[in-house]
Amino acid sequence: MVRRDVILQPMKIAYVYDAVYPYVMGGVEKRIREVSTRLAARGHEVHLYGMTFWDGPDTIEEDGVVLHGVCAPLPFYAGGRRSVAQALRFGQAVLGPLRASGADLIDCQNFPYFSCISARAAASAGKVPLVITWHEVWGEYWQEYLGRKGVAGRAVERFVATLPDRHIAVSPSTASALAGLGVREGVEVVPNGIDLARIAAVPPAAESTDVIFVGRLIREKHADLLVEALARVREEVPDLRAVIVGDGPERASVERRVHDLGLGGSVFFTGFLPDDTSVIAAMKASKVFVLPSTREGFGIAALEAMACGLPVVTADHPGNAVRDLVEEGVNGFVCGLSAEEIAARVLFILQGWVDLKKSSQNEAGRYAWDAIVCHLESLYKNI
């Protein structure tokens, strides 16, 4: 950890990611915003290169960070899967602005991959270091996701792993998975974090619930499995109230399943809420956070839920890094990917067999953003 009384020479840092917070709400976007604004407040010149999600000029400044819109936004999903056309377009569009950036260091997020190739070219041209921050590694999952075409996706991911001067992983699980891509050394774990003071200041929402899910409604999050579990929970808790916060290509399918199971009076959908404060308020008005995901590079929503005093129930799956955050029986439970097991853990909490509120908050306290940014700043300097 770098000492706070040591003044580091200011750097010009370029972040690369297609989606930009708060115009797109997700864990990666939020990490970049939290880190970049704090680095800017510490005297560094920070730029983010993404798609132009805002109205007005392509280059704007927000909270001390310069946002560069390199091209018009395209849909992230096509046919329920991430769009290759969108990834290619962003990768092509970001090359020129990055080469002209004059950055001292480029930190490119691993997804959507093609932008990493452009970042390598720009870093080489400017003779500056390239960091790739890995939020998850897909590995063999590519075949499950794309079938035979997944061979190409896996090859691109493996190639991208050869590009940076330094790898950053947001979780121990992601760092371990990089070994499967041939990365044996030079990986630094810098986790996501939370603003504990801001979360503490948010009052609970007016309407209370028992269970909350927060995330994009995509197949890998398994919101449909959560709905199946809630049907079982309601057999024991007739007045059950659950809220699903988020949107995505699976929303219509999950809503149909709620209707088919007769859960219309128990399960409610909000879509994406307008801001973080609304999400935190909804969490504080609930009792347990459930995320049966099989694709999580970190799980910042789960960490925020812990800071709100909610224990976390999540899936025991190798692609789910939320497992790294949960200590069994201390701040939640890790269980099998089945409606029966999820329902059993949720009932254990709702029926008061264990009180995990304080211990959940204590675990979350280890992930304060200010300490994480201090670590990251020192790492950048060493690179």
Residues 173 and 315 in one domain: no
CA atoms of 38 and 377, how far apart (whole Å): 10
Phi, psi of 186 (to 5 degrees): 80, 25
CA atoms of 169 and 268, how far apart (whole Å): 35
Any domain includes 75: yes
Radius of gyration, alpha carbons of the chain: 21
Residues 270 and 338 in one domain: yes
Any domain includes 60: yes
pLDDT reported for residue 8:
62
Angle between the 251-260 and 223-236 helix axes, to the nearest 10 degrees? 20
Is the Cβ–Cβ distance between 305 and 349 less than 8 Å? no
Residues 93 and 211 in one domain: no
Residues 241 and 160 in one domain: no
Residues 180 and 39 in one domain: yes
pLDDT in 10s for each residue of the chain, 383 residues: 444 444 468 999 999 999 999 999 888 999 999 999 999 999 999 999 999 999 999 999 999 999 999 999 999 988 878 899 999 999 999 999 999 999 999 999 999 999 999 999 999 999 999 999 999 999 988 988 888 889 999 999 999 999 999 999 999 999 999 999 999 888 999 999 999 999 999 999 999 999 999 999 999 999 999 999 999 999 999 999 999 999 999 999 999 999 999 999 999 999 999 988 999 999 999 999 999 999 888 888 999 999 999 999 999 998 899 999 999 999 999 999 999 999 999 999 999 877 899 999 999 999 999 999 999 999 999 99
Q: What is the pTM of this model?
A: 0.79
Is the Cβ–Cβ distance between 94 and 73 less than 8 Å? no
Any domain includes 261: yes
pLDDT reported for residue 353:
72
Residues 103 and 33 in one domain: yes
pLDDT reported for residue 258:
98
Q: How many domains does the chain have?
A: 2
Residues 378 and 356 in one domain: no
Residues 159 and 207 in one domain: no
Residues 164 and 153 in one domain: yes
Residues 283 and 181 in one domain: no
CA atoms of 25 and 157, how far apart (whole Å): 24
Is the Cβ–Cβ distance between 285 and 209 less than 8 Å? yes
Residues 21 and 112 in one domain: yes
Any domain includes 3: no
pLDDT reported for residue 5:
41
Phi, psi of 50 (to 5 degrees): -145, -165
Is the Cβ–Cβ distance between 244 and 267 less than 8 Å? yes
Range of 103's domain? Answer: 12-193+368-382
Any domain includes 59: yes
Place of tokens 């070994």: 179
* Residues 6 or more apart in contact with residue 41 via CB below 8 angstroms: 64
What is the arrangement of strands in the sheet containing 242-245, beginning at the earlier edge strand?
Answer: 267-271, 242-245, 211-214, 288-291, 312-315, 332-335
Residues 20 and 134 in one domain: yes
CATH number for 173: 3.40.50.2000
Any domain includes 7: no
CA atoms of 194 and 34, how far apart (whole Å): 8
pLDDT reported for residue 118:
98
Any domain includes 214: yes
pLDDT reported for residue 367:
94
